[in-house]
Amino acid sequence: MAFSDLQAFVAALERDGDLARVAAPVDPDLEVTAIVQRVLREHGPALLFENPTRGRMPLLINAFGTQRRMARALGVQSLDEIGDQLGALLRPELPKGIGGLRDALGKVGQLRAVPPRRVAAAPCQEVVVRGADIDLAALLPGVKSWPDDGGVFLNLGLTHTRHPETGARNLGMYRLQLQDERTVSLHWQIHKDSTSHAAVAERRGERLPVAIAFGCPPAVTYAASAPLPADIDEYLFAGFLQRERVDLVDCLDVPLQVPAAAQVVLEGWVEPGQRLPEGPFGDHTGFYTPVEPFPFVRVGTVTMRTDPIYQTIVVGRPPQEDGPIGKATERIFLPLIRTMIPEIVDYDLPEAGVFHNCVIVSIDKRFPKHAQKVMNAIWGAGLLSLSKLIVVVDADCDVHDYAEVAWRAFGNVDYAHDVLHGVGPVDHLDHGSYEQFFGGKLGVDATGKLPTEGYRRAGGWPAQAVLPPATVEGVERRWREYGIS
Alpha-carbon distance of 262 to 218, in angstroms, equals 10
CB count in 10 Å sphere of residue 292: 15
Q: Which is nearer to Mn ion, 188 or 310 (CB)?
A: 188
Alpha-carbon distance of 22 to 25, in angstroms, equals 8
Exactly one of 283, 322, 346, 427 is catalytic; name it.
283
Alpha-carbon distance of 146 to 149, in angstroms, equals 5
- Residues contacting 91, CB < 8 A, separation 6+: none
Q: Give the residue closest to Mn ion by C-beta.
A: 193
Using rule CB under 5 A, residue 170 touches Mn ion:
yes
Catalytic site includes residue 283:
yes
Alpha-carbon distance of 161 to 255, in angstroms, equals 9
Q: Pick the stretch among 36-44, 68-76, 191-199, 245-253 that binds Mn ion (CB under 5 A).
A: 191-199
Residue 347 contacts residue 334 (beta carbons within 8 Å): yes
Q: Pick the stretch among 54-62, 162-170, 211-219, 457-465 that binds Mn ion (CB under 5 A).
A: 162-170
Q: Which is nearer to Mn ion, 150 or 209 (CB)?
A: 209
- Residues contacting 227, CB < 8 A, separation 6+: 329, 333, 382, 383, 384
Alpha-carbon distance of 148 to 151, in angstroms, equals 8
Alpha-carbon distance of 37 to 313, in angstroms, equals 11
Using rule CB under 5 A, residue 329 touches Mn ion:
no
CB of 256 to Mn ion, least distance (A): 14
Site for Mn ion in 369-428 (CB under 5 A): none
Q: Which is nearer to Mn ion, 195 or 387 (CB)?
A: 195
Site for Mn ion in 337-376 (CB under 5 A): none
Size of residue set near Mn ion by CB under 5 A: 2
Q: Which is nearer to Mn ion, 170 or 311 (CB)?
A: 170
Phi, psi angle pair for 177, to nearest 5°:
-100, 130
Q: What is the 3-state secondary structure (H, E, C) of 350-385?
A: CHHHCCCCEEEEEECCCCCCHHHHHHHHHCCCHHHH
CB of 285 to Mn ion, least distance (A): 22
CB of 123 to Mn ion, least distance (A): 25
Q: Which is nearer to Mn ion, 124 or 223 (CB)?
A: 223
Residue 381 contacts residue 341 (beta carbons within 8 Å): yes
Q: Pick the stretch among 149-157, 165-173, 275-283, 466-474 that binds Mn ion (CB under 5 A).
A: 165-173
Using rule CB under 5 A, residue 193 touches Mn ion:
yes
Q: Which is nearer to Mn ion, 32 or 256 (CB)?
A: 256
CB of 66 to Mn ion, least distance (A): 27
Would you mind telling me the total number of residues written for the chain in this entry? 485
Q: Pick the stretch among 92-100, 188-196, 299-307, 453-461 that binds Mn ion (CB under 5 A).
A: 188-196
Phi, psi angle pair for 60, to nearest 5°:
-100, 130
Nearest one of 413, 415, 433, 414 to 423, comparing CA atoms: 433
Q: Which is nearer to Mn ion, 193 or 348 (CB)?
A: 193
CB of 172 to Mn ion, least distance (A): 6
Nearest one of 126, 154, 157 to 140, comparing CA atoms: 154
Q: Which is nearer to Mn ion, 235 or 310 (CB)?
A: 235
Residue 283 contacts residue 175 (beta carbons within 8 Å): yes
Terminal-to-terminal C-alpha distance of the chain: 40
CB of 234 to Mn ion, least distance (A): 6
CB of 228 to Mn ion, least distance (A): 5
If DSSP codes are grouped into helix, strand and coil, which group holds residue 148?
coil
CB of 318 to Mn ion, least distance (A): 25
Alpha-carbon distance of 58 to 244, in angstroms, equals 28
Q: Which is nearer to Mn ion, 85 or 159 (CB)?
A: 159
CB of 224 to Mn ion, least distance (A): 9
Q: Pick the stretch among 67-75, 163-171, 203-211, 394-402 that binds Mn ion (CB under 5 A).
A: 163-171
Using rule CB under 5 A, residue 233 touches Mn ion:
no
What residue ranges in 120-207 does DSSP mark as E strands? Answer: 127-130, 158-162, 169-173, 176-180, 183-186
Using rule CB under 5 A, residue 225 touches Mn ion:
no
Nearest one of 288, 193, 273, 286 to 233, comparing CA atoms: 193
Q: Which residues bind Mn ion (CB under 5 A)?
A: 170, 193
Q: Catalytic amino acids?
A: 283
